[in-house]
Amino acid sequence: MGAGVVAGPPPCPAGHELLAGRTAVITAAAGTGIGGATARRFLEEGARVVLGDSHARRLRVCVAALSDEFGSRQVAGLPCDVTDETQVGALFDLAEERHGTLDVIVNNAGLGGTAELTEMTDEQWDAVVDTTLKGTFRCTRAALRRLRASGTGGVVVNNASVLGWRAQRGQAHYAAAKAGVMALTRCAAVEAAEHGVRVNAVAPSLAVHPHLAKVTTPELLAELTAREASGRSAEPWEIANVIVFLASGYSSYMTGETLSVSSQRA
């Protein structure tokens, strides 16, 4: 490959039944982003999925499409706003009622935004932190209560971000929330280990999808893409593949870790 030539993404690998027989709850799983890609990759790896999303119409469309492709027994969905404790509980109840088991939880829900710190309002800060950090806390708490009671172990995978480590203008609230997700992951892992439950996180740098493109300027996306050593952004399924790894037996000794999914220069 010549200098300056950017290679496209490789083909997405075929499934190998890495999650066969497991039931997974995935939040913010409708649409074209990381959550939607994770739902598809989990199904391709043999899992049963219960999807939550705050966008009820988009969730219905997603569940219907995946059910047609993978079978209605494999896919269920329930509207879920992770800032609402009752809705979080109902999502986990659905997984247990439908399948009698809960094995994997992917906390993907998050909220972004751009504002300079001096111009940021309390409402902007609270909205991002309540969804991104406190929402992950609510879902992790609900998951661990159920997994501890079942005594069968399980896995929690949280979606963090490289902004939990790195600085970017206008992202103080989001970066603080994602750094909190990393710390939550470490502490939850220590508490959960004695119950056979693993808790890890992924930290993507840049995975471009239509929803992100709508809320981010082309100039910023071009700037962020230029920082990637590969010269391109990740495909959402490339992040989902690492989530599959963390949910599978291939990562059986890992807990409390955050994996950077990035080609970004230091």
Phi, psi of 198 (to 5 degrees): -105, 145
- Burial pattern 17-35, b for ≥16 Cβ within 10 A else e, equals ebbeebbbbbbbbbbebbb
Token pair 């935004």 is at which residue?
113
User: Catalytic site residue 250?
Assistant: no
- Asked if 172 and 230 touch (Cβ cutoff 8 Å), the reply is no
Tell me how far apart the alpha carbons of residues 41 and 29 are, in angstroms, rounded to a whole number.
12
Which one of the listed residues 42, 92, 125, 174 is annotated catalytic? Answer: 174
25 membership: H or E segment, kind and range = strand 23-26
Rg (CA), the chain: 18
CA separation for the pair 237, 216 (Å, rounded): 20
Distances (CA, A) of 145 to 47, 92, 150, 153: 22, 11, 9, 11
Annotated catalytic sites, by residue? 174
